[in-house]
């Protein structure tokens, strides 16, 4: 698959897909509290997505059994919501979600503290979120894709955190995952040249400890190998003639 460049009409659809997904995240953020299960968050989120006339794009993706990927603490990505997974004070919870609007996909992830978490956990969340913004400083036409990767990586590593290497961001559009892959770690090559109309899901996954991860027996849930906390932050963006536009986050 080559990198697809979206037309103005396609970007308009993706903008709406992103805007609706932001509303879903904003709603779920209000529900994050000790006592709620990841299954309930998934139910509430899916209900809202369908009430918008949209479809959750994670559901049944390669057989994924839920609409949201919800991870707690040392889980990095692709956690399966379950009635028995109850949020408790001090947890770090990660909600990754996407939807399809008129055939176009959006994808975004957020990390939340459940009640009070350690200062170190707060730092991990802040650095992970900021690394996305450090990366998109280079998401400009004429630049190269891996300038984004290098900026994320350099920023995160300056804090001593581990940048997950086994999972990467991606192009997005009429498919959830399109070319190119968007690594969050330093690259030797510059990668493809960025041009207006490229749409990318940029998603640093950052571990407090080492970068290594492993897959649980459910074949989905990715966890840190050393058991350390992990954080995730993602938005869908479009490359423009000027500053990148973040489709899943309004100013």
Distance in Å, CB of 177 to Mg ion, minimum: 7
| # of chain residues touching Mg ion (CB under 5 A) | 3
Binding map of Mg ion across residues 175-214, x = CB under 5 A, - = no contact = --------------------------x-x-----------
User: Is residue 107 a contact point for Mg ion (CB under 5 A)?
Assistant: yes
Distance in Å, CB of 156 to Mg ion, minimum: 18
Distance in Å, CB of 207 to Mg ion, minimum: 17
Mapping DSSP onto H, E and C, the string for the chain reads: CCCCCCCHHHHHHHHHHHHHHHHHHHHHHCCCCCCCEHHHHHHHHHHHHHHCCCEECCCCHHHCCCCCEEEECCEEECCCCCCCCECCCCCEEEEEEEEEECCEEEEEEEEEECCCCCHHHHHHHHHHHHHHHHHHCCCCCCCEHHHHHHHHHHHHHCCCCEECCCCCEEECCCCCCEEEEECCCCCCCCCCECCCCCEEEECCEEECCCCCEEECCCCCCEEECCCCCEEECEEEEECCCCCCEECCCCC
Q: Which is nearer to Mg ion, 36 or 67 (CB)?
A: 67
Q: Which is nearer to Mg ion, 36 or 233 (CB)?
A: 233
Q: How many whole angstroms separate alpha carbon 172 and alpha carbon 106?
A: 7
User: Is residue 168 a contact point for Mg ion (CB under 5 A)?
Assistant: no
Q: How many whole angstroms separate alpha carbon 75 and alpha carbon 220?
A: 11
Q: Which is nearer to Mg ion, 58 or 112 (CB)?
A: 58
Asked if residues 86 and 60 have their Cβ atoms less than 8 Å apart, the reply is no
Distance in Å, CB of 234 to Mg ion, minimum: 5
Distance in Å, CB of 182 to Mg ion, minimum: 9
Q: Which is nearer to Mg ion, 203 or 245 (CB)?
A: 203
User: Is residue 14 a contact point for Mg ion (CB under 5 A)?
Assistant: no
Distance in Å, CB of 33 to Mg ion, minimum: 26
Q: Which is nearer to Mg ion, 60 or 158 (CB)?
A: 60
Q: Which is nearer to Mg ion, 15 or 170 (CB)?
A: 170
Interface region with Mg ion, contact rule CB under 5 A, candidates 107-115, 134-142, 182-190, 238-246: 107-115
The binding site for Mg ion (CB under 5 A) comprises 107, 201, 203
């Amino acid at each position: 698959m080559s990198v697809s460049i979206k037309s103005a009409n396609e970007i308009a659809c993706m903008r709406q897909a992103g805007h609706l997904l932001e509303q879903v995240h904003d709603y779920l953020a209000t529900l994050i509290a000790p006592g709620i299960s990841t299954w309930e968050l998934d139910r509430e989120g899916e209900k809202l997505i369908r009430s918008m006339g949209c479809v959750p794009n994670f559901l049944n993706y390669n057989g994924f059994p839920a609409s949201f990927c919800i991870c707690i603490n040392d889980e990095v990505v692709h956690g399966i919501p379950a009635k028995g997974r109850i949020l408790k004070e001090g947890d770090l919870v990660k909600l990754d979600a996407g939807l399809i609007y008129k055939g176009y996909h959006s994808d975004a992830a957020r990390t939340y503290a459940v009640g009070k978490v350690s200062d170190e956990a707060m730092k991990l969340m802040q650095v992970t979120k900021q690394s996305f913004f450090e990366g998109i400083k280079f998401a400009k036409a004429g630049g190269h894709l891996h300038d984004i990767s290098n900026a994320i990586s350099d920023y995160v590593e300056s804090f001593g955190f581990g940048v997950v290497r086994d999972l990467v961001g991606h192009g997005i559009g009429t498919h959830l995952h399109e070319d190119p892959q968007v690594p969050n770690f330093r690259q030797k090559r510059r990668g493809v040249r960025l041009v207006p109309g490229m749409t990318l899901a940029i998603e640093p996954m950052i571990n407090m400890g080492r970068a290594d991860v492993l897959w649980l027996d459910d074949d989905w849930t990715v966890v840190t190998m050393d058991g350390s906390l992990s954080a995730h932050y993602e938005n869908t963006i479009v490359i423009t003639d000027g500053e990148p536009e973040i489709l899943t986050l309004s100013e």
